[in-house]
Structure 1
């Protein structure tokens, strides 16, 4: 019996690889296991190698495993590309159709199962993925009946005959595998799970759900990997609460449409990736100078230009903080788990309206598309706060003056009304303006308006809930590991291994990137002998931001990875053990 397992399925895109992993995972999730998945796929609709690596555990996991127990292969390329991950004693379950081979002199066992032939006998080769699921289940000692509800939910609308055929494919795959295993039986039987009901979702779904819970009722967006699932989720859900989604002609239109809707009083978001955010920059500046609330999701991917559109990277950090021309107040939030993505998405709308600023919710491909088990969400933590916007009040004005929409206030936040409010008439323009919104180029007015806008965020880091997630057990740590977004779970695993080796290690995951949480992070930096910043980019962007805000550059090193793949726990562990040189990479 084992408490943890790593399983991967691979083949050509369009062969049902994603659905194979999905069906396998949903069934195990419903049994109460914890799962963490990462899908490697090419930037094309069909063809090209793809794989889905799933970690199954009786306890919570937040990272991809270093090695692999079971590899399910639909072609020889899958074996060639992924074989090196298999641990001693691992197995390959491959479609017999392509006469699979594995390297000689290895402690890995190959089982050839006729996925395609069995599926064809049942009516269509498309069901070969279900045969593979059945074969995997036999290895784990799972009864094929655990898939019945999953198959019913996925194929039920196509009729009971399709459901029965797919279940028969699972059964046949399981029976064939049992024959191959013989007396060995289920060689990787998992310890029983706790049977608890948990969610199983990707970060993008959590963001979309959080936006819905936070009161968003409109989304304008243009499809782009890896952000499209946010729009796809809300297309289905928003109409149920009186909202809508519009697919625009480009990201410029999406951002300006979102600004217009927010100006009208509707909580609105848009979502994109690096190339789309580049197109939005001028519009983000418009939101900044007109002090219009705006929520934007940036799902980072490999760049520049089209770059690696389906691969992991964290290289938009500087652009999100400094990309707009001129100077505006802006908030950049970086959730590090799927749960945080839900709560932070809801909170982003509160921050945008309370401070009347653009808020960028920054994620990365691993967090946005990686599917994982999530404990039940606490909806009581979600609130709607609209700041200085009272939809039922009428502002008082003197002598029929225009409403002072951009009134200079002590906290930098001006009163706000929506169009059509009695006594609320004011001018809105992208040029510098006076308190009533009328254009003004006077030097004194410019200083007053700039200072007003820039002091809005003075108190945000104190009011933001948990701007730095800290696991700091030591007052005098040998090492502080710092990261953002999806690296949290991987860093935590590496940290545990380093602690077992006798090192005193603290961990800080930065959740509020801008304005930077200096007061929260500085004590952790000072108390550590050495600081290693872990990030998926080539220039150490987070490390440079830390140095700009906190100094201490002599003790800060970078651990960088920018080949399109996420970090593995062993990579962080190994590099920290041998000592990371400044600006080093793996």
Structure 2
């Protein structure tokens, strides 16, 4: 019996697919089960074809998986577009009006025909209610409690009034009872063990980043709406008053980054979030933050590119963009969290590093990580805040904002502190902030100052590297093959390693989170010991492979690259590993 089961709800935008998926997730976590939810959608309000997929298990889940087991389709498109991703002997729940033949499915399956539309009409004039009828049918098939489903529906629709609540309760019960009566003897190849005493909570990657930033003391957030990071703006807007956070939506990303730099310069922890297109507009100001040594955190959620590309699909295509953002050389930090849970802690880490070293920190995520919803058991809220070298009034007599120090980190004063006046400009300057860019530029004495200030800023990266924990291998140290990945692909890689282990193949993984400054020696020492290497990335150009080659001289020849807008799955990795080892 399988201990994992995956459900996919499919229909058109506007059919309430996301709502039933949200209910399903809440039902599972309240039943003590683990979930991993992801969705596929298009840039339309109504129409098109959308789906939401929930993977459910008694144990922790690292990715949204490969094939689903239960398909709920509200129209014929589900048969055309989703059935190819259904496992053999899967279950198809549909209204009798959705007609299809075995040839349309092409594999063994269980047909569960439920009068979704008829029941929906019985309880409402809105055809959308058929999604709730289907939800009830799924809950019975999974062997979950209707009482828990009832409580979730009461919670979700509590602000909609009794009429809406009762409508959804009756619709769900109709679907539940119908399958219980008509399909009670249908075989099940899975076994879930719900335990409400092991209740979980669920977060998306966007929520984890937002909550992590708040927990780190973020007091200013600015953003222009852009998929996949718009939900971070929604979270901050919803909680701004309660959490004491200023939230601003300016006219464009140029205003976003400059307002946040101003807030950070004034002394508050500030964050922005955008995607590749918005980050392009921010780039010059990111360079300015490096020049004036202002600590700021930037979330860059990657999506299908180039240009507008695939705005609702995932990709890891912006690595080189963030590394080369802005003009010239300046110290920066780039972090790529590998999971939703790690995104929470990375947000906290980013703020501490930004203030300790007075640099911009970029958290590089992607749509898959941002929009995935996972179950968690707990978060460590014992959070340490490191605000770096903030000076108090009277502490320093001859104040030099950009004083040359051993670490490159200078004393930071905030506007309004007496006797600590200085210029923070985008031009090159001396230790006190006096500009050397105009009539002084090129003079012999200024050449020395320019060199000294550039070296002062850049040597921060030496000490930043010492903050990073050394990279470690996941899996068997004596592996037949080492898989190299970064960011969100690590979940699929971990599941692939466990699957390979069942087949007697030893594999391990180097999961890179700390991208810049790059841990060249540590990475090289791991890779030179590997018997075989496989690079796994969600982009066309193997950007991480190029970065590794640049820093270590090691060229990874075997690659699994996906760039169609969908995440890499565990079985794709398994097949690729077998192909390499067999050759």
TM over 0.5: same fold? yes
| Aligned equivalents of 2:184, 2:341: Cα separation in 1 | 43
Structure 1 SS opposite 2:409: coil
1:258 maps to what in 2? Answer: 260
Kept after mapping to 2: 8 A contact 1:480/1:524: no
Do the aligned partners of residues 313 and 12 (structure 1) sit closer, same or farther apart at CA in structure 2, a change above 3 Å counting?
A: same
Question: Under a length normalisation based on structure 1, what TM-score does the superposition of the two structures give?
Answer: 0.94
Q: How many residues align?
A: 573
Secondary structure at the aligned position of 1:292 is classed as coil
Equivalent residue, structure 1, for 2:122: 121
Q: Tell me what 1:406 maps to.
A: 402
**2:2·2:189 contact (CA, 8 Å) conserved in 1?**
no
From 476, 483, 486, the equivalent of 1:484 is 486
2:329, 2:116 → 1: CA distance? 59
What runs of 5+ residues in structure 2 fail to find an aligned partner? Answer: none
- The farther-off stretch of 534-543 and 118-127 is 118-127
Query: Contact between 1:293 and 1:356, CA under 8 Å: does it hold in 2?
Result: yes
Query: 1:508-527 to 2 correspondence within 5 Å?
Result: 508-527=510-529
Deviation at 1:522, TM superposition (A): 2.2
Distance in 1 (CA, whole Å) between partners of 2:425 and 2:581 is 50
- CA–CA separation in structure 1 for the residues paired with 2:153 and 2:281: 42
Task: Determine the C-alpha separation between the residues in 1 that align with 2:520 and 2:393.
Answer: 38
Task: Name the CA distance, whole Å, in 1 between partners of 2:83 and 2:217.
Answer: 47
Question: How many angstroms apart in 1 are the aligned matches of 2:22 and 2:516?
Answer: 36
Rounded Cα–Cα distance in structure 1 between residues aligned with 2:479 and 2:373: 33
Deviation at 1:99, TM superposition (A): 3.3
Q: 1:221 aligns with which of 213, 220, 223?
A: 223
Structure 2 vs 1, CA of residues 355 and 580 (structure 1 numbering), >3 Å: closer, same or farther? farther
Counterpart position of 1:173 = 175
Say if 1:9 and 1:21, in contact at 8 Å, map to a contact too.
yes
Cα deviation for residue 395 of structure 1 reads 4.0
Select which of 417, 424, 428 maps to 1:421. 417
Cα separation, 2, equivalents of 1:251 and 1:313: 21
1:141 aligns with 2:137: no
Instruction: Quote how far apart the aligned CAs of 1:576 are.
Output: 1.3
Residues 371-404 of structure 1: per-residue CA shift (max 9 Å, x gap): 1111210111x211111114x4334324xxxx31
State the alpha-carbon separation in 2 of the partners of residues 63 and 527 from structure 1.
28
In the other structure, the counterpart of 1:578 is 579
Are residues 184 and 498 of structure 1, via their aligned partners in 2, closer, same or farther at CA, if it must alter by over 3 Å?
Answer: closer
Separation in 1, partners of 2:284, 2:53: 39
User: Is the 8 Å Cα contact of residues 286 and 325 (structure 2) preserved in structure 1?
Assistant: no
Displacement of 1:179 in angstroms is: 3.1
Q: 1:377 aligns with which of 360, 372, 379?
A: 379
Which stretch shows the higher mean deviation, 139-148 or 303-312? 139-148
- Distance in 1 separating the partners of 2:243 and 2:235: 13
Deviation at 1:238, TM superposition (A): 2.6
Aligned pairs for 1:330-341 within 5 A: 330-341=332-343
For residues 77 and 353 of structure 2, what CA distance do their matches in structure 1 show?
48
Cα distance in 1, alignment partners of residues 407 and 190 from structure 2: 61
2:562 matched residue in structure 1: 561
**How much does 1:156 deviate?**
0.9
In structure 1, the residue matched to 2:467 is 463
- Counterpart in the other structure of 1:42: 42
Q: CA RMSD in A?
A: 1.9
Evaluate the alpha carbon distance shift between residue 171 and residue 194 of structure 1 in structure 2; reply closer, same or farther with a 3 A threshold. closer
The normalised TM-score by structure 2 is 0.95
SS in 1 for 2:97: helix
3-state SS of 2:352 partner: helix
| Aligned pair partner of 1:446 in 442, 446, 450 | 450
